[in-house]
Chain A
Amino acid sequence: MEPIPTLPVVPSLLVVVAAVLAGLVAAGFALVWRRERSRRLAAERQAAAAAHRLAGATAAMREAMSVYDAAGRPAWINPAFERFTGFTLEELAERPALDYVHAEERAALLARWPELQTAGAALEAEYRITTRWGEQRWAAGVWTARLDPQGRVDGCIGVETDVTARRRADETLQRDAALFQTIAEAQQAIGAAGLDSTAVMHAIAERSRALTAAAGASIEEVQGDWLVTRVASGVAAERVPLGASLSGLAVRTGALQRSDDAIDDRRVDRATYMPLAIRSLLVLPLPAEGRTTHVLKVVSLEARAFGEREERVLQLLAGLMGAALRHAAVFELRQQRLEERTRALQESEQRFKQLVDAAQEGIWVLDDRGVTTYVNHRMAELLGHPNGDILGRPLADFLDAASRAEVQRGLAERPAGPRRLDLRFRRKDGADLWTIVATSPILARDGAFVGTVGLVTDITERKRAEDQLRRSAERLRTLHDIDQAVLAARSPAEIARAALGRLKRLVPVQRCSITLFDFAHDQVQVVAGYTGGLPLAALPIPLSAFSSPEVLRRGVVRYVEDLASLEPRPPLYEQLLGEGVRSLLSVPLLVDGEAIGELNLGLGQPGAVEPEHRDIAVEVAAPLAIAIQHARLRDELRRRTAELERRIAERSAELQEAVLELEGFAHAIGHDLRAPLRHVHGFIQLLLAEHGRRLDEPARHYAERVRDAARDLGTMMDALLLLARVSRQDLLRRPTPLDAVVEEVLLQLQPEWEERQIDWQVDALPTVDCDPALARLAVEQLVSNAVKFTRPRSRACIRIAAARQEGLAGLLVQDNGIGFRMTYADKLFGTFQRLHPSEAFEGAGIGLALVRRIAERHGGRAWAEGEPDQGATVHLLLGPETGA
């Protein structure tokens, strides 16, 4: 341990200080005492002489004199007496003898008074008196017998000197001497407390408490914003705020603080002290190195318990206390550092030990000839040899051939600095130990090569992991490859071939196949397969060739370690055995938990299927199953689609034919039938016009009937043609303002109602996305109908308003015409359907059919509402409303 030179100084210094102090005190006291005593004796002698000389007294004397007669009654006093005691002679006479003397001393004095009966007798005493105004003073009294002129004793004379001042000084001095004594003791005690700071503090607190007669004392330490009690004597430990306490004030000012009554002292942390009934506090900062880190605090339950004396006491101690604390602290710090250093050293030793012995690194030391001089525990463990086997042998003995050569080369070069070698050791059990060896030459002080130290790191695991990683990467690549191939393939057979072709790279198979189950036909279909490198025929295998068809359904991985050892063998296994397969692994192809087929791997040796092969097969089987299922679904879909397309084509052809027929029909009506009709009409007209006069009445009537029928037929054909055209014509949608359409139609149809009175009400109409030409045609029909069917009304009302429904817009036409029965509402829209005799309302009876057809072409709707004789409302919705 490092010596701490200041240590012994502390106690010796204390002792010296204490001794010096004590000496000073004693010397001072002796000096004062002697001087005072001699002065007093002189005064006494003077007083006695004066009393003797000036019996009868003089008024000018400074000593108080009193004369008592033989009966003991006061006979005379001098003015000094009166000044001293305050009593007049009369007052003195009224009181018992020596009543002014303090009761404690009076009895003794009175007891000795009879001594004064003897001439020449004298009585000296110091005693306290109580003055007339109640003050206590000290008197030094000299009492002598009073002689009459005959020399007989006749009373006594007292000469009393005021010695109050002297007595008080004595008392103070005595107290101070005691104080110094106590302080010295305190210092000794503190010094004796040694170097433990807590013990020092305890001593300080105890002594301070004793010295100030305090109820309690404590030492508080600054900790952040608080003062925390480190040690306490007679009080509880506490925590007071630095900012709002007397202790804090002492810390901040570095000056002693006193509170005489905590109750009304704002500087005091009253919250802490009130509950403790503490009234007086005295706080002394204990500065150390210019900073106050501790305070000494004494408390009392009495108000004004501490005065200047206590302050002085503590201040006297303060310097010592601070020093003692500082030393203790320094000592503790050093002690602590030493311990830490020792601990660190121990730890470092421990670490080194661990490094060498327990580390994962092997350590190998060779001498300059390459002979092993040291191997650590780990190295021996790595090699599987006991330490003793290795020592004294060359490194090369434990290396494989390639590494040996490398080491020979390395040693021949004798490198000056560290090197790194990849060495392969041979373990005792024959296994390889892959290592990285970091070597450093060991050089003597003179720089001579004395050996080599090598740190041997076992990387066998890493090598193995790398190897595994490489194989796994390869496997992944192949699996990915399979996935890709499987994705690219179109038919189950292609998928299966792609998967097997790549799988063969990973697993050394003699035979492999992918089969799909066809339980419906009791067979298993070979989708693809290879045996001895040649493709297998894609033939179905009957289920009976398997040992148990049920096991196929179950969808479990099956492994036959040796087909040869299986008895009895199902026919399939017999065949496989014939193809050179010994061990067989079958992995189900599962789709939604259902086995749809199997991936079969046959290897040429019994028990040749390794866990890895199995993993690979399972990994391949999953995507394979899904891909095959997809392909099958795709095939199915294709078949269905083709079937659907075929049927659509058939249906289309039929439809086409029907359309053509219909068109032919329409054409026939429009053209082929038209011509003869025209001829009928033309010639009957000619007949009537040119020969009518020659015809008799019935003949002319018949001819007229023929003419009218031909005319009606023409009208109907025109209507049908129009209807056909509307159905066939391409729809040319564009935003069409129905306002404009209606306006146009009204203008066009105006001649039809010129003679009539019709109230037209046309509301604002929407702009609709529709074919304007067809819209116009429809509106034309609606308006024309309304005009037509209101003809019986003397005053017709026709309203055209907007219609909106289900996102479609259009218009409605409302009239107050003849109306219709709702039962016939649908019949209205039929072709050539009439609800009224044609004589009453002309037309082809196709108007609303046309309207409905136009609505339907637009994806819209047309319908009618009405009551007989109550008018009708026809709604037409053509398309979505547009903004324009």
Chain B
Amino acid sequence: MSDAVLQPREPIDLLVVSGSAADLELTLLSLAQCELGGRLAVARDGEAALELLLGAGGPRDDGRPAGLPRLVLLDLELPKLDGFEVLQQLKANPRTRMIPVVVFTSDADERDVVRCYQLGANSCVAKPVAFDAFRETVAELGRYWLRVSRPPFPAPGASPGRQG
């Protein structure tokens, strides 16, 4: 895995939006360790995330919008546009509305959590401080959303969910 931004036309499974390099590194490390596979994209700020998702091309052969992931892991603390803005725009757009968004952030307070759900977040998860717990949380999220949960559109031929 690298932190390179994937080509927009390439189908992806997971988009990680994180402004913190350290967080991103820990998250990607954790994902790598749980070996979920699949394609991963990364956005470092809110603007980039929206560009990637809304600026994606037309529908692909399998009917899934090109470049749209099966899951977005969204941090709230982002340069440029913050996580709330990103979430609001994603959920306001018919094209991206159905993409599951998991708000994965530092321990957000109640009001933030409520606000996220009001904006249409599919889940809110706090990042544990202890690394062991962090790693376990990331693994659980990946397992659940990419393997257990059914996506709103037909899975691509080589979907990670169909493996293992």
Q: Which residues of A contact B (CB under 8 A)?
A: 667, 670-672, 674-679, 681-683, 685-686, 710-711, 714, 717-718, 721, 725, 729
Contacts and interface: CB of A to CB of B under 8 A. Distances in A.
Contacts of B131: 678, 681-683, 685-686
B35 interface: no
Interface string B129-143: 111101000000000
A674 B129 contact: yes
A714 B109 contact: no
Contacts of A678: 23, 26, 106, 127-129, 131, 134
A710 B129 contact: yes
B7 interface: no
A675 B24 CA distance: 11
Contacts of B128: 678
B109 A679 contact: no
Contacts, number: 62
Contacts of B109: 667, 670, 721, 725
11 contacts: A670-B106, A670-B109, A675-B22, A677-B129, A678-B129, A679-B23, A681-B129, A683-B26, A711-B129, A714-B129, A714-B130
A123 to B, nearest CB: 173
Contacts of A672: 106
A742 B30 CA distance: 39
B106 A671 contact: yes
B77 interface: yes
Contacts of B129: 674, 677-678, 681, 710-711, 714, 717-718
Interface string B95-131: 0000000000111111000000000000000011111
B29 interface: yes
A670 B22 contact: no
A682 B106 CA distance: 14
A683 B27 CA distance: 12
B20 interface: yes
Given A671-B107, A679-B23, A711 B130 contact: yes
A714 B22 CA distance: 17
Contact of B22 (A667, A674, A682, A729): A682
Nearest to A675: B106
A675 B110 contact: no
B106 A674 contact: yes
Given A675-B106, A725-B109, A683 B22 contact: yes
**Nearest 9 A/B pairs, CB to CB:** A714-B129, A685-B131, A682-B131, A679-B22, A671-B106, A674-B106, A682-B26, A678-B129, A675-B106
Interface string B62-81: 00000000000000010000
Interface in B3-53: 20, 22-23, 26, 29
Nearest to A710: B129
A721 B108 CA distance: 10
A681 B131 CA distance: 6
Contacts of B110: 725, 729
A717 B106 CA distance: 12
B135 to A, nearest CB: 8
Contacts of B130: 681, 685, 711, 714
Contacts of A718: 107, 129
A482 B81 CA distance: 69
Contacts of A721: 107, 109
Given A679-B20, A681-B131, 13 more contacts: A674-B107, A674-B127, A675-B77, A675-B106, A677-B129, A678-B23, A678-B26, A678-B134, A682-B22, A683-B22, A683-B26, A685-B130, A718-B107
Nearest to A682: B131
B108 to A, nearest CB: 7
A726 to B, nearest CB: 12
Contact of B29 (A686, A711, A714): A686
B23 A675 contact: yes
B77 A671 contact: yes
A667 B109 CA distance: 8
A155 B134 CA distance: 196
Contacts of B134: 678, 682
A96 to B, nearest CB: 167
Nearest to B109: A670
Contacts of A714: 129-130
Nearest to A684: B131
B107 to A, nearest CB: 5
A181 B110 CA distance: 144
Nearest to A729: B110
Contacts of B106: 670-672, 674-675, 678
A689 to B, nearest CB: 9
A670 B20 CA distance: 16
A271 B106 CA distance: 124
B29 A675 contact: no
Contacts of A717: 129
A306 to B, nearest CB: 130
Contacts of B20: 675, 679
B33 to A, nearest CB: 10
Contacts of A677: 129
Contacts of B29: 686
Given A682-B131, A685-B131, A686-B131, A671 B108 contact: yes
Contacts of A674: 106-107, 127, 129
A679 B108 contact: no
Contacts of A679: 20, 22-23, 26
> Max chain A CB contacts within 10 Å: which of B77, B107, B132?
B107
A682 B24 CA distance: 12
Contacts of B22: 675-676, 679, 682-683
Contacts of B26: 678-679, 682-683
Contacts of A675: 20, 22-23, 77, 106, 127
A675 B108 CA distance: 11
Contacts of A682: 22, 26, 131, 134
> Max chain A CB contacts within 10 Å: which of B22, B77, B128, B130?
B130
A721 B22 CA distance: 23
> Max chain A CB contacts within 10 Å: which of B77, B105, B129, B134?
B129
Contacts of A711: 129-130
A502 to B, nearest CB: 62
A711 B128 CA distance: 11
Nearest to A717: B129
A685 B77 contact: no
> Max chain B CB contacts within 10 Å: which of A678, A679, A683?
A678
Contact of A685 (B23, B107, B132): B132
Contacts of A676: 22
A240 to B, nearest CB: 112
